Amino acid sequence: MSDLTQFILNLSVRLPAILAALTFHEYAHGWVADKRGDSTARLLGRLTWNPLSHLDPIGTLALIFTPVGWAKPVPVNFNNLRHPRRDMVLVAAAGPGANLILASVCAGLLRQFDGTEGMDESAAWLLSWFTPVYHMLRWSVLINVALAVFNLIPVLPLDGGRVMAGLLPPRQAASYGRLERYGFVILIVLIFSGVVDRLIWPPIALVAGLLLGA
């Protein structure tokens, strides 16, 4: 099997998992914001399960090749929230929370494959169907855990930064919020310096290992 063929096969298994992870993440942000008083995402057509509405080309490509990736952020006007500081934390945490829930569901489905071991040859056709689904579910666990952990890094505009800003006292939160204009640059430096890898791989391995029973 050529490298290109192997890449295409791997992509066919990973891409559905990536699309589901990004869609669940952004939908969760919009849904919680809508429930807490901000209808911006719904009015702009972003409260949808259509993955094409949430894809960021660069962020999606990054997630194909690395554990770091992102979607097109769902617009949220925090001033419209009923309790802006508290609800900002809920909205921000909803994305990673949705990814961890999806990872847990996929891990539960994976356990249903335990009984396929030892099948006789007459059931080989079942295995031919089970195998890609098994790998897709396994990738879904890893991708969802990675997306949740990466987004919980406490750097604005990541979800972890929003949670941090909502938990800090107002004066410190205002000072912290002013760093958001430099957030992208800070993230790039952290990624290329290897700091992000050192931060996220241990918790990714821990959580994924617990879910997968490794």
For the annotated catalytic residues, the residue numbers are: 26
Query: Which single residue is written with the structure tokens 């897709």?
Result: 136
Residue 128 CB contacts under 8 Å (≥ 6 apart), including other chains: none
Residue 207's CB is within 10 A of a number of other CB atoms, namely 20
> In sequence order, which ranges of 74-151 are alpha helices (DSSP H)?
84-110, 124-151
Residue (of 158, 186, 164) closest to 59 by Cα position: 158
Q: How far apart are CA 82 and CA 75, in angstroms?
A: 16
Q: How far apart are CA 162 and CA 139, in angstroms?
A: 27
Query: Which single residue is written with the structure tokens 């006007």?
Result: 77
